[in-house]
Structure 1
């Protein structure tokens, strides 16, 4: 039996609901786009599916990110690991252990040469290093095997796997720009503290659409890493 301190509260129930909703909606839209959508006959719908899957892919990574900080189910590490691992696998076959170790290193060493997310030069060079850091042989074999399996099962429809690959790539660019490059790039204005992070100060709708609030409230996240994404706006006025 869980201890009293680990009983689900309202915040945990909302976080669990949102996490399962992001994962479930991604799965449903993925199945529809890959298995049932006739893209040439419905190009506008195909574009909308790509846009939706891209945003939901960003959401998958954010779900995993919250899980790394124990923010989905505080006091329930196995629940966090299960949801985070599932989200990372669906996103791009990422390893839960590899990502969580690198992300914790990022928080300890943000903006330093030892930060795995830190890069040099412009955004293109930095993004290339970002991809090399996180995409390795495991991801290559997992995604390659998935593509082969889809080709065997779907036959002539296998190019529709693009509805997985393209959103994943676009989401990685979106996550990089709004969740890493803009918050952590050196600029004329000094960082406010040792976290070497700044918030992009987007309005809340844009903050949600771009990176589930991890751009608009990135500095706040470094100050309050255990706060789930949907509560980050409350950290700015001290209500977290």
Structure 2
């Protein structure tokens, strides 16, 4: 099916037309790191009913910020951007690996493919057949929003780390170097939390789990397997609170159409091209995360197995089943 030319190229997403420094994102970066430092350092003086939700928000917000940074923000200088995104507040995802995997995800012609899309939740027939009945039960539970939020973080984190360790054991030196640097960063984060601030590391790990769960709400229904590439990416409107947390990545079809557009310009661009985007994605629009919860809290959003086995097209060789990451992040070009 030919792609309809309804979204012409725009200077909005060309690096040559960007300002050297995007100050709204710089301010956001200061708010995220400043908020995290303040909340952890003064945690004993903050009531738990305020502290826990605030820290969960900040850690999840940091992941959304990392997604923004991977897409080349907030400066023109890659080294500066990577330094801003490196600090592993969520502990389990090395920023460099997240960038590599999310770049692969933005090959839209391979979206949802269980082998080529690192953020796909679908399974290829051979991999599904190899799962034990217990594993199939766990995977099936995550096709509901409640299952994704409760089980998803443990499933994603454990599978991701296991996959990375397997790659290191196979002799992948690039991944090994990434994890050595990440390990030092994660150790520094835990040292700040537990030694300097006196917070229980188990409490912080619980906050990371909850933050990951919150991020999985965003990725739960943002893609589905369809023959038409343009029909694979959803839009969630009317999300003033979670939209801010996700830096407007809820407007996911707009993000995939203009992946380098800054988060604070995405709503305006979406409003300008709304009708074209909805026509292009086949009307895959949700009227807020409340609608997603009402429809899929305990009902399946989709089947775990990819309906076509793999996405039609030229396959790209990869090392095994895709590992679904927090979604919350992306590409520098």
Global fold match (TM > 0.5): yes
Aligned equivalents of 1:226, 1:105: Cα separation in 2: 15
Query: Among residues 17, 24, 38, which one is paired with 1:14 in the alignment?
Result: 24
Match of 1:60 in 2: 62
Q: Does 2:40 match 1:30?
A: yes
Structure having greater relative contact order (Cα 8 Å, sep ≥ 6): 2
Q: Does 2:171 match 1:131?
A: no
**Structure with a larger share of its residues in helix:** 1
List 4+ stretches of structure 1 deviating above 6 A: 139-142
Secondary structure, counterpart of 2:79 in structure 1: helix
Task: Please say which structure displays the higher CA radius of gyration.
Answer: 2
How far the C-alpha of 1:194 sits from its partner, in A, is 3.6
Alignment check: 8 A CA contact 2:111 2:229 kept: no
Matches within 5 A, 1:196-235: 196-209=232-245, 211-215=246-250, 217-235=251-269
Match of 2:89 in 1: 90
Q: Does 2:112 match 1:111?
A: yes
Matches within 5 A, 1:168-183: 168-178=208-218, 180-183=219-222
Matches within 5 A, 1:187-198: 193-194=229-230, 196-198=232-234
TM-score scaled by length of structure 1: 0.74
Distance 1:200 1:57, change over 3 A: same
Specify every segment of 5 or more residues in structure 1 that has no aligned partner in the other structure, as ranges. Answer: none
Secondary structure, counterpart of 2:261 in structure 1: coil
How far the C-alpha of 1:143 sits from its partner, in A, is 5.0
How far the C-alpha of 1:175 sits from its partner, in A, is 0.9
Alignment check: 8 A CA contact 1:207 1:214 kept: yes
TM-score scaled by length of structure 2: 0.55
Distance 1:164 1:6, change over 3 A: same
Q: Aligned residues, how many?
A: 215
